[in-house]
């Protein structure tokens, strides 16, 4: 039985869908699976097509509606091509989940390598902005045809945007920017909706805590599990449910939500 009936027949793009570590599921994997099982047409995106296809192969075998596409979101031309393909193939886009991100190297501020700064900001910062830019253009085009089309965007940030953690300066810097841009987008898009008499494109931000994914698995391998909430409150599957619930909240715009199993409440 479907948990989220509003997802049926919606076109959803999820970035950062890959499979890299058999011990931990990627957040993008969990999102793609939940979306597909609830009747969405899913476009799963990764810079590494082989890892993307590995992550969703079982869903394709089940006959669910899901495509895999290669796109390096740090390259604007590739992002532009992806959204042009979506427009030509499907004509619209209902939901975008900007999930792709990287933690980079964990380095003290005074020892930051320039390559690390460039890599983390290119993915978490520029990549998110590029996808936002193209998604909003595509959604506005659709709203001109159907002024009540349901369009929503979720940007995935991190609790690093809110709390200090050692050696995460460039990651925190980029993730804080993601939290801020959602508010800016909301102001712009609400003004656009009023001006054009269309449904607003909703933009919200999620700040996950320590979720048991390949990214955090690398961190946990080095630092142990002390202070990490129980596994049931930090699974990608549970986080995916929280994220998808927010896609459909009609009055939720410009919000920044911490979802961390109580980690920052300590």
- Specify whether the CB–CB gap between 155 and 218 falls below 8 A: no
pLDDT band of 215, cuts 50, 70, 90: low
pLDDT of 125 > 50? The answer is yes
Which pLDDT belongs to residue 1? 45
pLDDT of 142 > 50? The answer is yes
Give the whole-angstrom CA distance, residue 232 versus residue 175.
Answer: 25
Q: Which residue has the tokens 């715009």?
A: 253
Q: What confidence tens digit (pLDDT) does each residue in 156-191 have? A: 999 999 998 889 999 999 999 999 999 999 999 999
Q: Which residue has the tokens 């998110």?
A: 128
SS (H, E, C) 211-260: CCCHHHHHHHHHHCCCCCCCHHHCCHHHHHHHHHHHHCCCCCCCCEEEEC
Give the whole-angstrom CA distance, residue 261 versus residue 207.
Answer: 11
Give the whole-angstrom CA distance, residue 170 versus residue 25.
Answer: 25
Q: What confidence tens digit (pLDDT) does each residue in 234-247 have? A: 788 889 999 999 99
DSSP class of 47: S
pTM: 0.92
pLDDT, the chain, mean? 90
Instruction: Record the tokens describing residue 265, joined without a space.
Output: 């409440």
Domains of the chain plus CATH, in order, are 11-265 (3.40.50.720)
Instruction: From 6, 5, 1, 33, select the one nearest 235 (Cα to Cα).
Output: 33
Identify the weakest region by mean pLDDT among 106-110, 226-230, 251-255.
226-230
Percent of the chain with pLDDT over 70: 89
Which pLDDT belongs to residue 225? 46
Which pLDDT belongs to residue 141? 96
pLDDT of 233 > 60? The answer is no
Three-class SS state of 155: strand
For 215, half-sphere exposure in the C-beta direction (CA atoms, 13 angstrom radius) is 22
Neighbours of 3 (CB within 10 A): 11
Q: Which residues contact 178 (CB under 8 A, 6 or more apart)?
A: 98, 124, 125, 128, 155, 156, 157, 161, 205
């Amino acid at each position: 039985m479907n948990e989220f009936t509003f997802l049926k027949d919606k076109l959803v793009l999820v970035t950062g869908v890959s499979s890299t570590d058999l011990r931990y599921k990627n957040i993008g994997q969990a999102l793609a699976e939940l979306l597909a099982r609830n009747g969405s047409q899913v476009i799963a995106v990764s810079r590494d097509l082989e890892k993307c296809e590995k992550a969703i192969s079982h869903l394709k075998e089940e006959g669910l509606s899901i495509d895999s596409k290669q796109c390096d979101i740090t390259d604007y031309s590739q992002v532009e091509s992806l959204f042009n393909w979506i427009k030509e193939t499907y004509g619209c886009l209902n939901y975008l989940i900007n999930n792709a991100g990287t933690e980079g190297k964990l380095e003290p501020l005074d020892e930051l390598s320039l390559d690390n700064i460039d890599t983390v900001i290119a993915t978490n910062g520029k990549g998110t902005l590029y996808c936002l830019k193209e998604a909003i253009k595509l959604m506005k085009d659709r709203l001109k045809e159907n002024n009540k089309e349901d369009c929503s965007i979720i940007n995935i940030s991190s609790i690093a945007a809110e709390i200090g953690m050692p050696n995460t300066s460039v990651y925190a810097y980029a993730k804080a920017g993601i939290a801020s841009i959602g508010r800016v987008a909301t102001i712009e898009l609400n003004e656009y909706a009023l001006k054009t008499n269309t449904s607003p494109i909703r933009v919200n931000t999620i700040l996950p805590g320590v979720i048991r994914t390949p990214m955090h698995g690398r961190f946990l391998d080095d630092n142990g599990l002390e202070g990490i909430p129980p596994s049931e409150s930090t699974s990608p599957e549970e986080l995916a449910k929280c994220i998808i619930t927010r896609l459909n909240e009609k009055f939720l715009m410009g919000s920044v939500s911490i979802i961390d199993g109580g980690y920052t409440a300590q």
